[in-house]
Structure 1
């Protein structure tokens, strides 16, 4: 399910999105986040859009228990970083 947000809070991954926006509220926004959630309600990926261009993207992978295993962070014009988490 695709959802839209104004911002996030905290520094932990996955990002904790806040201030959800309706899709029809995006027309007059320069900056916002869009995120896809899986059937379990976990964030699969999130993108920060600035003037219609993707400036930042996080892709998340979880284990069978729902714990975060990996986060791939891509920033504009930079090599993606892969962060691995162990429990």
Structure 2
């Protein structure tokens, strides 16, 4: 079972193909209790998404971790874990 306590935002889905993923369809915490699939995220104090987890049947199926340049919204690194494999993209 996924530990979702560290996540502070929840969404229905995402749009686009560029990283970081653009999450859409905000959900309240109470709305995820009966959902089979949703996305959970963490934002930093600048409003940038630093982690995304795709949750399917209470298990994390996909995980993204993003690092940004200190002074803007551009990515330095994206670490993506899916199907037991981790891939790192440097920018």
Shorter-chain TM range is over 0.9
Q: How far apart in 2 are the matches of 1:44 and 1:27?
A: 23
Match of 2:79 among 72, 75, 85: 72
| Residue 7 (structure 1) aligned with residue 13 (structure 2) | yes
Structure 1: runs of 5+ lacking an equivalent: none
| Residue 51 (structure 1) aligned with residue 57 (structure 2) | yes
Q: How far apart in 1 are the matches of 2:59 and 2:28?
A: 19
Runs of 4+ with >6 A deviation: none
Instruction: Kindly state the Cα deviation for residue 76 of structure 1 after the two structures are TM-superposed.
Output: 2.6
Q: How far apart in 1 are the matches of 2:32 and 2:69?
A: 33
Report the RMSD for the aligned CA atoms in angstroms: 1.0
Give the structure-1-normalised TM-score.
Answer: 0.92
Match of 1:33 in 2: 39
Give the structure-2-normalised TM-score.
Answer: 0.89
Size of the aligned set, in residue pairs, is 84
